[in-house]
Chains A and B, each alone.
Chain A
Amino acid sequence: AQSVTQLGSHVSVSEGALVLLRCNYSSSVPPYLFWYVQYPNQGLQLLLKYTSAATLVKGINGFEAEFKKSETSFHLTKPSAHMSDAAEYFCAVSNSGGGADGLTFGKGTHLIIQP
């Protein structure tokens, strides 16, 4: 079975500071990994995905994530936080590309940006 653990239900950073959201996964096969963002009263928007092509993945809005197999991690980073980054972030794993078996999500991390 696959699972995802997101460390920290809430993360607070100052505007302009580094954003680091942590995600560790468990999977019996090479995983596909995703980060999604959810703004209030909206659905999920895909930020980036790892599909074994490259370990450092660049996404939208300046976010990137690095796949580290030895640490079973896929942490999300952004060099400089912006007020518009305040949202809920979800890490997700799939054993089959994100479709056939459904996505398994972490509990989410609420990112707070301090002015």
Chain B
Amino acid sequence: KAGVTQTPRYLIKTRGQQVTLSCSPISGHRSVSWYQQTPGQGLQFLFEYFSETQRNKGNFPGRFSGRQFSNSRSEMNVSTLELGDSALYLCASSLRPGANEQYFGPGTRLTVT
């Protein structure tokens, strides 16, 4: 069974631009969560989607948004990029919310210049 895939793997953007990252969960998994990883703040929960609905959101500004499609694939969008948004963005999938295993993708490395 294929794992969680994230595209693109690497991205360089300029401050003020917007970016969209994509995540395809493991087949059959319907819950997708997003995390931001930075050297200073570590791993932080962004949001979780299930059945095309955002179920929970971490403490991030409104510039960070996401959505989930009917096939469970998810995208996250960051608008008006700031230098501090440079990070590894990780997507994790699970069978359903509350499932006690999340499977992580390799991440998208975003660099904002």
User: Could you tell me which A residues sit within 8 Å of B by CB distance?
Assistant: 32, 36, 41-46, 49, 51, 90, 92, 94, 96-108
Contact = CB atoms under 8 A, between A and B. Distances in A.
Contacts of A36: 104
B56 A101 contact: yes
A68 to B, nearest CB: 20
Interface string B89-113: 0101010111111111111000000
Nearest to A32: B100
A43 B107 contact: yes
A45 B101 contact: no
B100 A51 contact: yes
A105 B101 contact: no
Contacts of B42: 105-108
Nearest to A50: B100
Interface string B17-36: 00000000000000101010
Contact of B102 (A46, A90, A104, A106): A46
A97 B44 CA distance: 17
